[in-house]
């Protein structure tokens, strides 16, 4: 017998359970495991960005959210850029700005900079308070990359696990851990 239970099969069981009684939790979990089993065979090939743009973005995402590549951030941005010229313009333009700025400050493309130099650039463009005409475009671009990197990472299996999300399950009886309630009440002084 196949160990793999199709989501379709489980859904049929849910429908049957409506007539016969409650659904076995073990069975039900297969829905999640099946939908969660996103397979990632092979290496992602950039669809919109050039190789250089892609690898620059990869490094940038990793600096914004360490581990971002495990959450598929670069692929996410490249894929959406391949579907939307407006998105592609933001990224190809922004990455070109970043290289241009890196060359003007340190004489090399962003991806070739030392950790110290690339960090110095990020410390400038990661904050609105640093806005000057010279870096305004970079600050706007960085806000885009940060937003989408955060989104990609925390919508990935690894990011969701890291946050400690414990839901999206079949639960027979909903219960709230009493010690957690007590801790919160204590911390709140209510």
Partner 1 sequence: MFQVQRSAPIADVVVIGSGAGGGTVTKVLTDLGIHVTLLEAGPMLHPETDFKEHKWPYDYPHRGAGEGGASYFGHGRDFGWFSAHAGGWQLEGEPYTVAEGSKFQWFRSRIVGGRTNHYGRISLRYADYDLKPYSRDGIGTDWPISYDEIAPYYDKAETFIGVTGSKEGIRSAPDGMFQTCPPPRVHEVLIKKASDKLGIPCIPNRLAVITRPTNGRPACHYCGQCGRGCISASNYSSSQVQVFPAMKTGRVTLITNAMARELITDSDGKVSAVSYVDKATRTEKQIKCRTVVLAASCCESTRLLLNSKGPGHTNGLANSSGVVGHYLTDNTGFGLGASIPALRGMPRYNSDGMGGAHLYMPWWLWDKKTEFPRGYHIEIGGGYGMPGIGSFAGLAVREEGYGDSLKKKIYEDYGSHVSFAGRGEMIPNEDTYCEIDNDVVDRWGIPVLKFHFKWTDAELKQVAHMEETFTAIIEAMGGEVRPNARPVEQKISTGGEIIHEVGAVRMGDDPKSSALNKYCQAHDVKNLFVADAAPFVSNPDKNPTLTICALAWRTAEYIAEEMRKGNV
Interface ranges with partner 1 (CB under 8 A): 8, 11, 14-15, 17-19, 21-23, 28, 31-32, 35-36, 38, 63-66, 72, 76, 79-80, 83-84, 86-87, 122, 126-128, 143, 146-148, 150-152, 154-157, 159-160, 162-177, 180-181, 183-185, 187-190
- Would you say 108 or 184 has its CB closer to partner 1? 184
CB 104 to partner 1: min, Å: 21
Do 152 and 76 contact (CB within 8 A), yes or no?
Answer: yes
- Would you say 10 or 97 has its CB closer to partner 1? 10
- Would you say 11 or 108 has its CB closer to partner 1? 11
Neighbour tally for 83: CB within 10 Å: 10
DSSP 33-72: HHHH-----S----SSS-HHHHHHHHHHHHHHSTTGGGGT
CB 67 to partner 1: min, Å: 8
CB 30 to partner 1: min, Å: 11
CB 3 to partner 1: min, Å: 20
Q: What's the distance, Cα to Cα, between the start and end of the chain in Å?
A: 56
- Would you say 61 or 97 has its CB closer to partner 1? 61
Residue 80 makes CB contacts below 8 A (sequence gap 6+) with: 87, 148
Name the token pair of 28: 């039900």
Name the token pair of 82: 């391949």
Cα(143)–Cα(151) distance, rounded to whole angstroms? 12
CB 1 to partner 1: min, Å: 23
- Would you say 35 or 50 has its CB closer to partner 1? 35
Residue for token pair 């239970």:
5
């Amino acid at each position: 017998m196949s160990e793999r239970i199709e989501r379709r099969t489980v859904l049929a069981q849910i429908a049957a359970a409506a007539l016969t009684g409650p659904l076995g939790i073990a069975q039900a979990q297969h829905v999640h495991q099946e939908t969660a089993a996103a397979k990632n065979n092979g290496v992602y090939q950039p669809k919109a960005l050039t190789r250089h743009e892609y690898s620059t973005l990869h490094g940038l995402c990793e600096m914004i959210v360490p581990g971002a590549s495990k959450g598929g951030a670069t692929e996410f941005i490249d894929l959406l850029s391949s579907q939307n010229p407006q998105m592609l313009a933001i990224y190809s333009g922004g990455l070109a700005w970043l290289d241009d700025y890196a060359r003007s400050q340190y004489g090399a493309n962003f991806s070739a900079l030392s950790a110290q130099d690339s960090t110095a650039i990020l410390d400038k463009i990661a904050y609105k308070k640093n806005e000057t005409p010279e870096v305004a475009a970079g600050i706007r671009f960085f806000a885009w990359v940060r937003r989408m990197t955060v989104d990609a990472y925390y919508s990935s299996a690894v990011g969701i696990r890291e946050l400690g999300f414990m839901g999206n399950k079949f639960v027979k009886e909903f219960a709230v851990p009493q010690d957690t309630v007590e801790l919160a009440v204590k911390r709140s002084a209510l």
